[in-house]
């Protein structure tokens, strides 16, 4: 993929820095590394085209191919008659439709590759931190030491929540699901920051992005403390992003909370792995709501609501419920038989894009060993390992290319670290906030984008006249 100055100019500039300074730095940096990706991302010659013969009319059309795609609107010229609307594509669940061009993350589903802005997820998980990765995802390049320091300071300055938001959260039922509390509170922040509506103002967008990344851990921690009836803990700005989050979750009476360094790092790695994942369900919602030009808090509340579902980010919670239900290794064959009969799914397995091992699941498995060396082994681990062993050999899963995804092992780590199972989707939403916001910002900058508005194939009744109530049968 060519990573030239155009990319540098399209990425956001961080706070406290001029665009020209940033562009110069990025242009210089981008001349160094090159990542080889398939033609789809590198572009194809303008001469490539698709010839279509409409057998209804015998007419022939040449449709240009660019970057391995044809434009759906180019098909509209194909009409059966003069008053025909023109040909459309039917693609429920967007299985073969690119809705945008993006420079943020890249997945090769067959090879199990995930890159953020060109950097392999394995390298970021080993060498980066979540805040640095969030910067990379948002602004397009790894920060210099000075930029990282300034970014970290800016985030730290925005971790507090308005006291009214605390009161709002206190109004939830004591057993409210933390993800419901989280997404409602994020939405409510739009009333605290009405200036967030000015989405065309680039500086203002940056401020809201900073606020959101800084405040989501505080909201998540308050949702958790509320659910266990403990007082809220204010942020401790002397700790790291993840260390402070652990402080707000778990601090009791100690004067200063000190997170265990292995657990702090493990959570940071999990946050890196969850930070972005191209056009998944919740990101598409973020872009979809954002395309109507609402404020980012409302869009992000919608994205979090999409993530909550058990087929998406709620799967980590569903995996733990599944492991509990299976109960013991000896019950696994029965469980697998039921899944193969269609009586339920093996949660944490399968993915729309990955048709080989999810690279994030591989890193999470390694991280789990580290965490268990501190917390002790999660008793469900044996069931998970045996499920994976059987599924990777079983014809049903092999033929459908079903492998463990990011959610299969993450819950085991979260549980070992002391999180309640219903907190798992919230732990996903915190880092994904960076990805959602980067995708939202990219969408607003993209001149190709308009309000998201799919077409439909109407299959309902033809026009008919209203029947008065007394005449209905
Ligand atoms: N267990 C059993 N069978 C499965 C599973 C599973 N986890 N996933 C897919 N299949 C089967 C389907 O029944 C279908 O079989 P069929 O062809 O005989 O009808 C085939 O595999 C294809 O499945 P689809 O549902 O068409 O695949 P799709 O791409 O639409 O779904 C999804 C992907 C939603 C992730 C699916 O694999 C699933 O439900 N997995 C379990 C939930 C989960 O772990 N979600 C987290 C995904 S990662 C994330 O969002 C963060």
Structure confidence by residue, pLDDT tens digits, 413-428? 999 999 999 999 999 9
What is the reported pLDDT for 37? 55
Instruction: For residue range 345-366, list pLDDT tens digits in order.
Output: 999 999 999 998 899 999 999 9
Angstrom distance (rounded) from CA 225 to CA 271: 20
What is the reported pLDDT for 6? 40
Beta-carbon contacts of 328 under 8 Å, excluding residues fewer than 6 positions away, are: 383
Q: How many C-beta neighbours within 10 Å does residue 338 have?
A: 12
What is the token pair recorded at 254? 């100690």
Q: What is the DSSP pairing of strand 59-64 with strand 49-54?
A: antiparallel
pTM across the whole model? 0.90
Ligand 1 pocket residue status of 307, Cβ below 6 Å: no
- Kind and range of the H or E run holding 360: helix 359-375
Angstrom distance (rounded) from CA 166 to CA 22: 37
3-state SS assignment for residue 116: strand
CA of 403 to the centre of ligand 1 (A): 10
Ligand 1 pocket residue status of 311, Cβ below 6 Å: yes
What is the token pair recorded at 310? 């058990």
- Which atom belonging to ligand 1 lies closest to the Cα atom of 352? 29
Phi-psi region of 87 (alpha: psi -120 to 50; beta: other; left: phi over 0): beta
- Which of 91, 346, 350 to probe ligand 1 with, by most ligand atoms within 8 A of CB? 350
CA of 345 to the centre of ligand 1 (A): 7
What is the token pair recorded at 467? 């029947």
CA of 349 to the centre of ligand 1 (A): 7
- Which residue, by CA, sits nearest to atom 14 of ligand 1? 400
Ligand 1 pocket residue status of 346, Cβ below 6 Å: yes
- Which residue, by CA, sits nearest to atom 2 of ligand 1? 345
Closest CA to 221 of 400, 427, 24: 427
CA of 56 to the centre of ligand 1 (A): 37
Alpha-carbon separation of residue 275 from 137, 149, 439 (angstroms):
8, 20, 11
- Which atom belonging to ligand 1 lies closest to the Cα atom of 350? 37
Q: Quick one: angle between helices 202-227 and 178-192, nearest 10?
A: 140
- Say if CB 416 and CB 376 are below 8 A apart: yes
Catalytic residues: 312, 351, 407
Question: Bridge partners of 61?
Answer: 52
Ligand 1 pocket residue status of 339, Cβ below 6 Å: yes
CA of 93 to the centre of ligand 1 (A): 13
CA of 383 to the centre of ligand 1 (A): 20
Ligand 1 pocket residue status of 166, Cβ below 6 Å: no
- Kind and range of the H or E run holding 364: helix 359-375
What is the reported pLDDT for 47? 78
CA of 20 to the centre of ligand 1 (A): 46
Ligand 1 pocket residue status of 348, Cβ below 6 Å: yes
Angstrom distance (rounded) from CA 146 to CA 23: 16
Ligand 1 pocket residue status of 406, Cβ below 6 Å: yes
- Say if CB 368 and CB 415 are below 8 A apart: no
What is the token pair recorded at 233? 């803990």
Phi-psi region of 193 (alpha: psi -120 to 50; beta: other; left: phi over 0): beta
What is the reported pLDDT for 314? 94
Ligand 1 pocket residue status of 349, Cβ below 6 Å: yes
Regions of the chain with pLDDT less than 50: 1-10, 15-35, 41
Q: What is the DSSP pairing of strand 49-54 with strand 113-116?
A: unpaired
Ligand 1 pocket residue status of 345, Cβ below 6 Å: yes
CA of 311 to the centre of ligand 1 (A): 8
What is the reported pLDDT for 21? 35
- Which atom belonging to ligand 1 lies closest to the Cα atom of 396? 3
- Which residue, by CA, sits nearest to atom 9 of ligand 1? 350
- Which residue, by CA, sits nearest to atom 40 of ligand 1? 350
Alpha-carbon separation of residue 344 from 339, 347, 379 (angstroms):
5, 9, 23
What is the token pair recorded at 143? 């920060």
Angstrom distance (rounded) from CA 36 to CA 47: 23
What is the reported pLDDT for 120? 98
What is the reported pLDDT for 113? 97
> Could you tell me the maximum CA-CA distance found in the chain, to the nearest angstrom?
81
Angstrom distance (rounded) from CA 102 to CA 235: 34
3-state SS assignment for residue 312: coil
The gap from C-alpha 367 to its chain's centroid, in whole angstroms, comes to: 20
- Which residue, by CA, sits nearest to atom 35 of ligand 1? 351
- Which residue, by CA, sits nearest to atom 46 of ligand 1? 312
Ligand 1 pocket residue status of 402, Cβ below 6 Å: yes
Closest CA to 11 of 100, 140, 115, 203: 140
Q: Quick one: angle between helices 241-250 and 130-139, nearest 10?
A: 120
- By CB atoms closer than 10 A (0-12, 13-18, 19+), residue 82 is exposed
* Count of residues in the chain: 473
CA of 109 to the centre of ligand 1 (A): 14
Task: Annotate 410-428 with DSSP letters as a single string.
Answer: HHHHHHHTT--GGGHHHHH
Beta-carbon contacts of 68 under 8 Å, excluding residues fewer than 6 positions away, are: 38, 39, 40, 44
- Which residue, by CA, sits nearest to atom 49 of ligand 1? 312
Ligand 1 pocket residue status of 352, Cβ below 6 Å: yes
- Which residue, by CA, sits nearest to atom 28 of ligand 1? 352
Work out the angle at residue 368's Cα, subtended by the Cα atoms of residues 108 and 344, and round it to the nearest 5 degrees.
65
- Which atom belonging to ligand 1 lies closest to the Cα atom of 281? 50
What is the token pair recorded at 157? 């300055």
């Amino acid at each position: 993929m060519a990573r030239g100055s155009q990319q540098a100019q399209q990425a956001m500039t961080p706070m406290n820095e001029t665009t020209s300074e940033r562009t110069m730095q990025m242009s210089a940096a981008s001349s160094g590394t090159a990542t080889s990706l398939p033609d789809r991302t590198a572009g194809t010659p303008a001469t490539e085209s698709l010839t279509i013969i409409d057998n209804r009319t015998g007419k022939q059309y040449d449709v240009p191919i660019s970057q391995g795609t044809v434009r759906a609107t180019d098909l509209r010229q194909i009409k059966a008659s003069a008053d025909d609307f023109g040909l459309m594509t039917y693609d429920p669940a967007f299985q073969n439709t690119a809705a945008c061009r993006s420079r943020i993350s890249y997945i090769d589903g067959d090879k199990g590759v995930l890159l953020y802005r060109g950097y392999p997820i394995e390298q970021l998980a080993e060498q980066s931190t979540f805040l640095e990765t969030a910067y990379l995802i948002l602004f397009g390049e790894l920060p210099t030491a000075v930029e990282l320091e300034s970014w970290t300071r800016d985030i730290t300055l925005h971790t507090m929540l308005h006291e009214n938001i605390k009161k709002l959260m206190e109004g939830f039922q004591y057993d409210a699901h933390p993800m419901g509390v989280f997404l409602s509170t994020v939405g409510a922040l739009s009333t605290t920051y009405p200036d967030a509506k000015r989405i065309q103002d680039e500086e203002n967008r940056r401020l809201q992005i900073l606020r959101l990344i800084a405040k989501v851990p505080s909201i998540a921690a308050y949702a958790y403390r509320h659910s266990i009836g403990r007082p809220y803990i204010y942020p401790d700005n002397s700790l790291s992003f993840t260390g402070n989050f652990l402080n707000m979750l778990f601090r009791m009476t100690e004067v200063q909370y000190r997170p265990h360094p292995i657990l702090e790092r493990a959570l940071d790695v999990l946050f890196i792995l969850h930070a972005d994942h191209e056009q998944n369900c919740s990101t598409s919602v973020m872009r979809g709501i954002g395309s109507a030009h609402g404020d980012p808090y409302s869009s992000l509340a919608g994205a979090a609501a999409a993530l909550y579902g058990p087929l998406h980010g709620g799967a980590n919670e569903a995996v733990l419920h599944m492991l509990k239900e299976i109960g013991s290794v000896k019950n696994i064959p029965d469980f697998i038989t039921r899944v193969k009969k269609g009586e339920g799914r093996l949660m944490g397995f399968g993915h729309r894009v990955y048709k080989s091992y999810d690279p994030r699941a591989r890193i999470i498995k390694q991280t789990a060993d580290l965490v268990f060396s501190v917390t002790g082994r999660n008793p469900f681990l044996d069931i998970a390992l045996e499920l994976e062993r059987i599924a990777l050999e079983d014809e049903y899963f092999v033929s459908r290319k079903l492998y463990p995804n990011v959610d299969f092992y993450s819950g085991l780590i979260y549980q070992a670290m002391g999180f309640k199972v219903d907190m798992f989707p919230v732990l996903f939403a915190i880092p994904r906030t960076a990805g959602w916001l980067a995708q939202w910002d990219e969408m607003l900058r993209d001149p190709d984008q308009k309000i998201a508005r799919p077409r439909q194939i109407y299959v309902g009744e033809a026009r008919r006249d209203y029947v008065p109530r007394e005449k209905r049968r």
